Amino acid sequence: RPWSVRTLKPRTMRELVSLCHRGNIGRVRVVGYNNGVNHFGHRHPGRTVVSTVRCHRVIHAGPGMMKADSGATIRDVREYLGSHGEELFVMPNYSYVSIGTSFFVPIHGSAVDYATVADTIRRVILYDPDSDRIISAGRDDDAFRKNVYNPRSRAVVLRLSLRTKPKSNYYVRRETWKGASANDLLATLQDRDAA
16-40: pLDDT as tens digits: 999 999 998 988 888 887 655 554 4
68-85 confidence digits (pLDDT tens): 999 999 999 999 999 999
CA distance 184 to 189: 9
Q: Which of 179, 181, 174 is nearest to 195 (CA)?
A: 174
Cα 91-44-146 angle, rounded to 5 deg: 55
Quickly count: other Cβ atoms within 10 Å of residue 1's Cβ: 3
Q: Output the pLDDT for position 122.
A: 96
Give the pLDDT score at 46: 75
pLDDT in tens, 115-144: 999 999 999 999 999 999 999 999 999 999
Q: What single-letter amino acid sits at 154?
A: R
Could you tell me the sign of the dihedral formed by the alpha carbons of 2, 133, 36, 98, in that order? positive
- Summarised one tens digit per residue, pLDDT across range 81-112 is 999 999 999 988 888 889 999 999 898 887 77
